[in-house]
Amino acid sequence: MIGGPIAFPRFFRRPRRPRFGVAFLFAFICIAMLSVSCSRTKVRKYSRTELMFGTVCRISLVDTSGELDGDAALEETFSRLADIEKRISRTQAGSEISSVNGQAGTAPVAVSEETYELVKTALQYARLTDGAFNPAIGPLVSLWGINTETAKVPSDEEISRVLPLLDWREVVLDDVERSIFLPRQGMSLDLGGIGKGYAADVAKATLRRFGASSALVNLGGNILVIGTKPDGEAWRIGLQDPDSSRGEFFLSVSLTDGTVVTSGPYERYFVQDGVRYHHILDASTGYPAVTHIASVTIVGADSTGADALSTAAFVLGVEPSLALLRTLPGVEAVFLMDDGTIRMSEGLADDASRWRLATDRYSVKLGD
């Protein structure tokens, strides 16, 4: 229901300074990379960090064969990522998505095949999640302005005016012309909930093309690993504890040739009148999603889908999300609840070798 202040769960009401858990998570993973044995083959390490997609992005690879041109691989990969950002950014003038948004209510806009297919994929996830993931949420994102200097709580009237503009079903795709049309003036696409996942998948394909067999891609907390660690062991990815001021993790997940994407309200938010408003917006109400979830992590092979599903799962809540995941083979989830319990999808919960509790501050709840 729209109107009046929202009763946020305890977790959302306690103002805190933003923390940079992503950096800790990455450092934790890199320890394993730096301890690789050099007994038989000279190990060559490559790493590069750039600011992209509004966050710190880092890619590290390890070459044990002596045949990988790591510098060239990183150069090409970051070039591809920069190209993706220029195409899909909602805020960069001249991007394909900003052109589509600028022509809303006026005319369709022809775009590159890459952008077109990503928008089509985003709409498929909107359909799959019944709009919990919504690529047409741009007007609401602009209205709240979270993570900008103009962040504020909109009035009920302002929210009511933008809600009709969020209908992702109205987006018109033309496969022949490869064009996108937003039929109402004021509509706008925002691919922030899927773009980094897609970029991680592109990074993986690019690095594989260069022959990388052991690599870690960290796009602001969207983690993707190629193969195993150089010693043949699975990567162990630490999940950020959102209630820790020291960047600690509450659980780790073993991962081989896969991805881990986390969504939560603990890094992008603002406080007004003592209430904390986070950036994960619910298009059905116009307000930040209200759940008892402190963070949700999706584990799978496809980072594009994991990115969209992590947002959707936070909006949907635990039980609807678990029901959805049962229909998606190979996709698992970890929910940290604001009461200190941890819920998991069945496939992950049933295989204790794939996860490890990192602190006694939380407890794992298995089954119903």
217, part of any domain = yes
* 104 and 220 assigned to the same domain: no
Q: Name the token pair of 168.
A: 């992702």
258, part of any domain = yes
47, part of any domain = yes
Strand ranges for 53-145 from DSSP E: 55-63, 109-110
* 114 and 245 assigned to the same domain: no
In angstroms, the Cα distances linking 296 to 29, 132, 260 are 19, 14, 10
7, part of any domain = no
Fill in the DSSP letter of residue 288.
B
Q: Among 354, 289, 300, which Cα is nearest to 329's?
A: 300
295: domain range?
13-83+194-364
**Domain C-terminal end among 181, 203, 220:** 181
Distance of CA 145 to the CA centre of its chain: 19
Count: domains in the chain: 2
| pLDDT number for residue 285 | 96
| pLDDT number for residue 40 | 52
* 297 and 242 assigned to the same domain: yes
Strands 249-255 and 235-240: antiparallel
115, part of any domain = yes
**Domain C-terminal end among 127, 149, 181:** 181
What's the full length of the chain, in residues?
368
* 142 and 94 assigned to the same domain: yes
Query: How many Å apart are CA 199 and CA 189, to the nearest integer?
Result: 17
Which CATH number characterizes residue 159's domain? 1.10.3980.10
* 213 and 316 assigned to the same domain: yes
* 334 and 246 assigned to the same domain: yes
pLDDT in tens, 207-257: 999 999 999 999 987 999 999 998 899 999 999 998 876 578 999 999 999
- The model carries a pTM of 0.87
CB 168 within 8 A of CB 134: yes
171, part of any domain = yes
SS (H, E, C) 206-226: HHHHCCCCEEEEEECCEEEEE
Parts of the chain with a pLDDT under 70: 1-41, 245-246, 367-368
Q: Name the token pair of 362.
A: 């939380």
Residue 164 three-state SS: helix
176, part of any domain = yes
| Half-sphere exposure at residue 87, Cβ-oriented, CA atoms within 13 angstroms | 20
* 205 and 75 assigned to the same domain: yes
**Domain C-terminal end among 153, 181, 209:** 181
Average pLDDT of the chain, as a whole number? 89
Beta-bridge mates of residue 180: 109, 173
Which CATH number characterizes residue 239's domain? 3.10.520.10
188, part of any domain = no
pLDDT in tens, 116-163: 999 999 999 999 999 999 999 999 999 999 988 889 999 999 999 999
* 94 and 72 assigned to the same domain: no
Query: How many Å apart are CA 63 and CA 65, to the nearest integer?
Result: 6
* 285 and 204 assigned to the same domain: yes
| pLDDT number for residue 266 | 80
